[in-house]
Structure 1
Amino acid sequence: PEFVAHAVNDWCRFNGTGSLFIDPGSPWQNAWIESFNGRLRDELLNSWRFDSLLEAQVLIEDWRIDYNANRPHSAHHGLTPTEFALQWTTTHQPQAA
């Protein structure tokens, strides 16, 4: 991670931009990623003992697909992300001229 951080820092400097940092011990500054990390840890990483790298990759990918498409989301009034996207697309179609 340190090497990536240096590369990102160099890129920002080269492109005349900056980055924002989360203060250590301040998870409330980025609640979304903290929530995601907690779910990943509780629902998958703390529950499984992977016997191989391949098994870990398959189970994590299955969890990622389920997390991104099938889990109900309170911000979407209990709809899954897939249901929300379908509903949004149907209600936001351009009007025929």
Structure 2
Amino acid sequence: MARLWSGLRKGGITLTYIQPGKPQQNAYAERNNRTVWHEWVDLYIFDSIEEVQQIATAWLWSYDNERPNMGNGGMTPAQKLRMAA
């Protein structure tokens, strides 16, 4: 973990922590974490980090390209991005 933090600092990225017991201070990340855990992490028993990476990649592609999002007016994130370009 120290190696990760060192790399972040070298890249000019600063970590900012929320107050303990205040997840609403980081609502977007907390909602993302809930979605990820609910939709795929809790559904599998993983045998390797490679399997986790494979499932995460497939899920993220599906989330971005196949799954309509009501926050985007019923479009997928990929459709919304194409409209913005």
Q: By the TM > 0.5 criterion, same fold? A: yes
Q: TM-score range by the shorter chain?
A: 0.7 to 0.9
Aligned length: 84
Report matched runs for 1:36-55 at 5 Å.
36-55=32-51
Regions of 4+ moved over 3 Å:
8-11
Using a 3 Å threshold, how does the CA distance of structure 1 residues 10 and 36 change in structure 2: closer, same or farther? Answer: closer
Q: Hey, what's the Cα distance between the residues in 2 that align with 1:9 and 1:68?
A: 26
In 2, Cα distance between equivalents of 1:55 and 1:20: 30
How far apart are 1:80 and its partner, in Å? 0.3
**Could you tell me the TM-score, scaled by structure 2's length?**
0.74
| Runs of 5+ unmatched residues, structure 2 | none
Change (3 A) 1:8 1:57: closer
Q: Please state how far the C-alpha of 1:75 moved relative to its aligned partner.
A: 2.4
Q: Aligned residues: percent identity? A: 27
Q: State the partner residue of 1:61.
A: 57
Return 5+ residue gaps in structure 1 as ranges. 90-97
Root-mean-square deviation (CA), in Å? 2.7
Q: Which has the higher contact order (CA 8 A, sep 6+)?
A: 2
Report the CA distance between 1:44 and its aligned residue: 0.7
Q: Does 1:80 align with 2:76?
A: yes
**Which structure has the larger Rg over C-alpha atoms?**
1
